[in-house]
């Protein structure tokens, strides 16, 4: 089995995630990947090109990275399904960091100037909270 590393899309319990970092302590920092998203989220990144693909299901559907950073321990049952190009990984990471900072500002001050900036870097917007400056509900994620 291939070791999990930066840029891998992993599958665990029928859910997918993009690995941003692997820590020394045996944890991963990831961004969830959704297939055929049916709801609006303000920080989506469409994943279209793969450097390597091991699972046919991923190529047949529309994949979106929900640019919300999560953390989990590495579990032996996690399976590597694909690997992204470095430029896509960097873009997703940049948007995720902007979204993280925007949510922290919203929690602290009720408003954020970073969300519109994130929109201009290539993600799709669906949530009205970006435009009308209202606090979006907290979104937590885990594998």
Q: Which of 21-25, 33-37, 133-137 has the lowest mean pLDDT?
A: 133-137
Residue ranges of domains in the chain, CATH in brackets:
8-124 (2.30.30)
Per the CB < 8 A criterion, the answer to whether 28 and 22 are in contact is: yes
Phi and psi based region of residue 14 (left: phi greater than 0; alpha: psi -120 to 50; beta: remaining): left
CB contact at 8 A, 92 and 67:
yes
* pLDDT for the residue 120: 41
Q: What is the mean pLDDT of the chain?
A: 75
pTM: 0.70
Tens of pLDDT, residues 89-126: 998 998 888 888 887 777 777 655 555 444 444 343 44
pLDDT band at 77 (very low <50, low <70, confident <90, very high): confident
pLDDT in tens, 19-32: 999 988 888 999 99
Q: What is the distance between the alpha carbons of residues 29 and 10, in angstroms, rounded to a whole number? A: 12
């Amino acid at each position: 089995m291939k070791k999990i590393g930066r840029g891998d899309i992993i599958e665990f319990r029928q859910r997918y995630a993009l690995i941003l970092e692997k820590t020394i302590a045996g944890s991963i920092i990831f961004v969830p990947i959704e297939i055929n998203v049916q709801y609006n989220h303000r920080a989506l990144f469409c994943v279209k090109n793969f450097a390597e693909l091991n699972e046919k299901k991923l190529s047949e559907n529309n994949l979106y990275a929900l640019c919300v950073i999560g953390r989990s321990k590495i579990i032996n049952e996690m399976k590597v399904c694909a690997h992204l190009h470095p430029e896509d990984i960097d873009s997703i990471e940049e948007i995720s960091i902007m979204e993280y900072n925007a949510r922290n500002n919203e929690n602290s001050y009720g408003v954020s100037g970073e969300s519109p900036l994130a929109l201009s870097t290539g993600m799709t917007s669906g949530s009205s909270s970006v435009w009308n400056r209202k606090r979006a509900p907290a979104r937590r994620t885990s594998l």
